[in-house]
Amino acid sequence: MNVLKSIFKLLCGFAIGIIAGLLIAAVGIVCFTDTTFAEFLGKLQSARFADAMLAATTAVLIFIISSYFLILLHEAGHLIAGLLSGYKFVSFRILSYTFIKEDGHLRVKRFSISGTAGQCLLVPPELPLERIPTGWYNFGGVFANILAIILILPIFWIIDNPYVVEGATIFCFTGLFLIILNGVPMKIAGSNNDGYNMLNLRKNLTGKRGFADALRINALLQNGMRLKDMPSEWFEIPAEINYKDPFEVSIPLTAASRLIDKLDFNASRALFEKIYEEKEELIAIYSQEIACELIFLRLVTGNTEGAAELLTERTKKYIETYRRTMSSKERVMCAIYLYKEKDREKATSVYDSLLARKDRYLMQGEVLSDLAIMRTILERD
């Protein structure tokens, strides 16, 4: 049954792609040639079915290729704009492939974040908070996509080939979609897009602090440093937090995570519980992450029933999805086996598996922390 559903979804997606391809091709041909829409329909009706399918399939393939290329270009724009603003390179991710600098060498690892197709991480320059540049870092991706469209436009007047015109049209519409999606200030599934960040970080110093500290923390985590060993001032929680702002919320979240790394489970649980009370204000991925950490913390502090309340099917699926890219999910599973299912053998096997695969994770500092915490609870209980 699942196979049939997958095939059905694939066929539906392909059909939608063909229809979208034909519509985009029609718009491009009408806009950039002397052909009217009625003439285009007439030619389509008179064309052989095989030719029409070829044109539609070409449109779908060009859309896929354009999407990948423009996303890569978008992240490259962030990279170049950030470097020109004084930032230092940390990692560059396109889909799940991440290029990271370790020990002076460029390495490739697999890592993904729900809801994102790519990401460029740099370290901000050591300047007073109000002087740290954030505009070009955030606008660089949109600027790269705008530049790509400008460079492709001459094709419409230089080359008189329907397939080339079709491809250029699809490329431009795809680029325009990404420009609007990233450049027009908005929140997508609760997360700020680049345009929103440009405006918000100019006037919101708390958000700007969360943005800058998150970049610094990620850089050190990727290089193998644990949260407990990082400067304590990065984890000082402001008196007021806007829980709708992901950058502001990242400050107490990393502070709570640091308490786990310091084995202060009760204090960490209290802080995570406090943040989770605002779950209606939080972006979805933060709510899921907090739920996972609270499952772990409730288990290790003796509240098995409270942990079971959070261990919903949705949370189980989330944990399973990210076990291979986020070592913290293995730590949670170790606690579930040890405290909820009372199966020490399974809990130990989770630890052994993570230890054997530790070099495959992007956040090496996080891996070292999770291994140490798992050893602690396995030896303690």
At 61, list the tokens: 């393939």
Model pTM score: 0.80
Beta strands in the chain (DSSP E): 88-94, 97-102, 105-110, 118-123, 187-188, 191-192
How far apart (Å, rounded) are the C-alpha atoms in residues 216 and 123?
6
At 46, list the tokens: 């008179």
pLDDT tens string 135-147: 999 999 999 999 9
Q: How confident is the model at residue 294 (pLDDT cuts 50, 70, 90)?
A: very high
DSSP string, 14-65: HHHHHHHHHHHHHHHHHHHSS--HHHHHHHHHHS-HHHHHHHHHHHHHHHHH
- Would the pLDDT of 6 be above 60? no
Instruction: Output the average pLDDT for the chain.
Output: 85
Q: Where are the domains positioned within the chain? A: 2-68+137-198, 204-380
Mean pLDDT is highest, among 168-177, 191-200, 346-355, for 346-355
Mean pLDDT for 111-140 is: 82
Q: How confident is the model at residue 58 (pLDDT cuts 50, 70, 90)?
A: confident
Q: Please tell me the predicted confidence (pLDDT) of residue 26.
A: 62
- Would the pLDDT of 102 be above 80? no
pLDDT tens string 296-316: 999 999 999 999 999 999 999
Burial class (CB in 10 A: 0-12, 13-18, 19+), 11: exposed
Q: Please tell me the predicted confidence (pLDDT) of residue 118.
A: 67
pLDDT tens string 333-367: 999 999 999 999 999 999 999 999 998 888 899 99
At 91, list the tokens: 């990692």
Choose the weakest-confidence range: 96-100, 102-106, 362-366: 102-106
Q: Please tell me the predicted confidence (pLDDT) of residue 72.
A: 87
Q: How confident is the model at residue 94 (pLDDT cuts 50, 70, 90)?
A: confident
Mean pLDDT for 277-301 is: 95
Q: Which residues pair with 89 in a beta bridge?
A: 122
How far apart (Å, rounded) are the C-alpha atoms in residues 282 and 46?
55
> Burial code of 319-350, b = ≥16 C-beta within 10 A, e = fewer?
beebbebbbbbbbbbbbbbbbbeeeeeebeeb
Torsion, Cα 73 79 85 86, to 10 degrees, reads -160
How far apart (Å, rounded) are the C-alpha atoms in residues 91 and 106?
9
